[in-house]
Amino acid sequence: MSQFREVLKNRNFFLLWLGQIISEFGERMTQMALIGLIYSKNPYSAVALAKLIMFIIIPVFLIGPVAGAYVDRWDRRYTMIVSDLLRSLFVFLIPLSLVLFNKNLLPVYILVFLVFSTTRFFLPSKMAMIPDLVSGKDLLIANSLISTTRMIATVVGLGLAGVLVSIAGPTGGFYINSATFLVSAVALFFISVKGRIHIKEDLVETGHAIEEALVKPNILGQIKEGMKFLMKDKNVRFSLESLFLVMACLGAMSVVTIVFVQECFGSATKEIGFFGMLIGLGLFLGSIGYGRLGHNISKRKMMFISFIASGISIALFIIIASQTHIVSLTGIFAVLLGLSASPIIISSNTLIHEAIPQDLRGRVFSSVELVIHLAFLFCMFLAVQTADLIGRSGVLMGSAGILVFFGFIGLIREQLCKK
């Protein structure tokens, strides 16, 4: 834990880390609120959930590539602050839109689209700024801590949100999330990459960057440059392939798993929130363990082992849930899934950070987001259709098998390369 404490003594990184814990907690509230909202309109409908997720994912393709190019030209800290303020406003308007438009869901879909369009500017800014806040030797630890940001939020947020939305309805979750984005913006305001706050100078510099971007746009060329780098570097390409597989399986399992859990346990959000909390707990513990011990094993080898363990955990989760309907017993395998999966994300982000130059980070991370979310969206709709033919359990077990197969093949290839 001493390594974590040393990195958290870095004031700027600590502010980024703390702000994300708070805003990610609120975001989990919104996720549960949206699931509860869709369930109240269309119970056990995978198609309705897929439609909602479509509005969450589409900004990755429409906004993400452009956002990454501008992130590399704008002040990243101010980009994140403005993004948080806009997200706070859009989330606040979701419950109001239900009242004003007589519970028509179209305005909700539009606001969800706007929230996640703004997130496309926030995420590459955050990932691109991390190496500016910590030294190279601390990157693995920093990425582990950033990963725990999501995990802590998931552990607390999903568990509470599932119960809250089940009891009080979706509205409270939206308002809590709106407030957390504001708190995150305040924390980000006090970060200074240069070691002290230069509010006036940074605003002038950002204004010049925006003016240049608007007057002399070369966005398509910069997007192409980011995609080209993904294919050129061996470690970045391997990380992209791994993340592609993870997101493809997540897409296939996303709405199918939600409906599967709702049918197995008979509630809209309560068990979903509980299992999400347990997966988050596993991810959190796995992030801590891997952050401390990750330097002792090859990142590639650890990722292949994690693929195998994740696939086995998913298969056991499905079998226990469908056969026993016992929440506590099923929850054990949710924790194991989180433990197994955490090294994949941490290692992938670290390999990319180690390989890409500073002035390409925004474009590269936006390009990564575009590719992996394309896999997510395609496999999500494919799974919804396939579930009608082979059943929800069949889709989930198939995804688990693919992860195990990829992990074993990767380990064999690594062993052969050593010889």
17-75 residue pLDDT tens:
887 777 777 777 778 888 888 888 777 778 888 888 888 888 877 887 677 667 777 77
Distances, alpha carbon 173 to alpha carbons 35, 40, 65, 138, 170, in Å: 11, 15, 30, 35, 6
CA angle 345, 351, 357 (to 5 degrees): 125
Give domain status of residue 406, yes or no: yes
Residue 174: which H helix or E strand, with range?
helix 171-189
**Per the domain annotation, does 3 fall within a domain?**
no
Total domains present in the chain: 1
CATH number at residue 276: 1.20.1250.20
Given a cut of 70, is residue 363 above it in pLDDT? no
- pLDDT tens by residue, 308-358: 999 999 999 999 999 999 999 999 999 999 899 988 888 887 887 777 776
55 occurs within a structural domain? yes
Q: For 122-142, how does the pLDDT look when each residue is reduced to its tens digit (9 = 90+)?
A: 877 877 788 878 777 777 778
What 3-state class would DSSP assign to 419?
coil
Q: Distance between CA atoms of 268 and 36, rounded to whole angstroms? A: 6
Mean pLDDT of 188-192: 84
Look at residue 142 and tell me if it is in a domain: yes
Residues above pLDDT 70, as percent of the chain: 84
- Banded model confidence at residue 151, pLDDT cuts 50, 70, 90: low
**Domain annotation covers residue 2:** no
Nearest to 302 by CA among 341, 357, 245, 352: 341
Residue 90's pLDDT band (boundaries 50, 70, 90)? very high
The pLDDT score that the predictor gives to residue 150 is 63
Q: pLDDT at position 362, please? A: 64
Residue 329 falls within a domain, yes or no? yes
What's the confidence (pLDDT) of residue 148?
64
CB count within 10 Å of CB 135 equals 10
Would you say residue 69 lies in a domain? yes
**Range picked from 156-165, 207-216, 240-249, 316-325 for highest mean pLDDT:** 316-325
Query: Which of 242, 239, 230 has the alpha carbon at shortest distance from 360?
Result: 230
Is the pLDDT assigned to residue 404 strictly greater than 80? yes
SS3 325: coil
- C-alpha distances (whole Å) from 22 to each of 152, 191, 236 are 9, 16, 30
Q: What is the Rg, in whole angstroms, of the alpha carbon atoms belonging to the chain?
A: 21
Query: What own/partner pairs with CB < 8 Å and gap ≥ 24 does 317-325 have?
Result: 318/260, 318/393, 318/396, 318/397, 318/400, 321/260, 321/261, 321/264, 321/265, 322/260, 322/264, 322/393, 325/264, 325/265
pLDDT of residue 358: 66
Q: What is the pTM of this model?
A: 0.70
Domain limits for position 278: 9-418
Asked if 7 and 142 touch (Cβ cutoff 8 Å), the reply is yes
In a domain, 4, yes or no: no
387, 263 contact by CB (below 8 A): no
According to the 3-state scheme, what is the secondary structure of 26-75? HHHHHHHHHHHHHHHHCCCCHHHHHHHHHHHHHHHHHCHHHHHHHHCCCC
Q: How many alpha carbons lie under 13 Å from residue 15 in its C-beta half-sphere?
A: 18
- DSSP class of residue 233? S
